[in-house]
Amino acid sequence: MKTTLRSLRLSWLAVVALVSGAVGWGVTLLANRLGWATPSLPLSSLLTMGVMGAFVLILGFQVLRWRNGKRDRPLNPILAARTVILAQAYAYAGAVLFGWHGGILADQLPTVALRTNLSVVWSAAAIVAGGLLMVVIGLVVERFCRIPPEDGAPPAGPGQTKRSNGEEEYA
């Protein structure tokens, strides 16, 4: 059974990151003016992001091994579809975290010289890096799950995927 899904588009990930960055910047600006704490995740959230990333990669490597010829047992199509969807969701969540904490950094960086406690800045920078890594892992695992073109099938033109409507075939 083949599942047809839309592939991740970098332009949508960029839009998600920009919108969440603008919202993150605005909320941080408002919170600081009202005397509230900066709305950022703690550094311990990097552990959760890492565990989820390892889980997504493990599932992706299972599908990749099957796709590359280790077919001693059939691939569960539900597992493959869930792996693609999880990879895409992980990439979108990474884009949100990247944007939100990028907005926090944009608000906090102009006042770094005046601060004695830089924990919010370092925490936001670490989560921006973690969000970027989430996007990369999501894109890589999605690529793992793509079915290679059939032998003899007409090659897609430059910049085109296998289907003309932006859909991909996944394992």
In a domain, 78, yes or no: yes
Chain segment 14-24, per-residue pLDDT in tens: 999 999 999 99
Determine the Cα–Cα distance for residues 108 and 115; give it in Å rounded to an integer: 10
What domain range is 116 assigned to?
A: 14-36+46-147
Q: Which range, 67-76, 87-96, 146-155, is most confident?
A: 87-96
Pair of tokens at residue 160 = 């085109």
In a domain, 74, yes or no: yes
Number of domains in the chain: 1
In a domain, 170, yes or no: no
In a domain, 8, yes or no: no
Work out the average pLDDT over 97-122.
88
Q: Would you say residue 113 has pLDDT above 60?
A: yes
Determine the Cα–Cα distance for residues 150 and 1; give it in Å rounded to an integer: 15
| Amino acid 123: pLDDT | 94
141-150 exposure pattern, b = at least 16 Cβ within 10 A, e = fewer = bbebbbeeee
In a domain, 154, yes or no: no
Chain segment 34-74, per-residue pLDDT in tens: 999 989 999 999 999 999 999 999 999 999 998 888 778 88
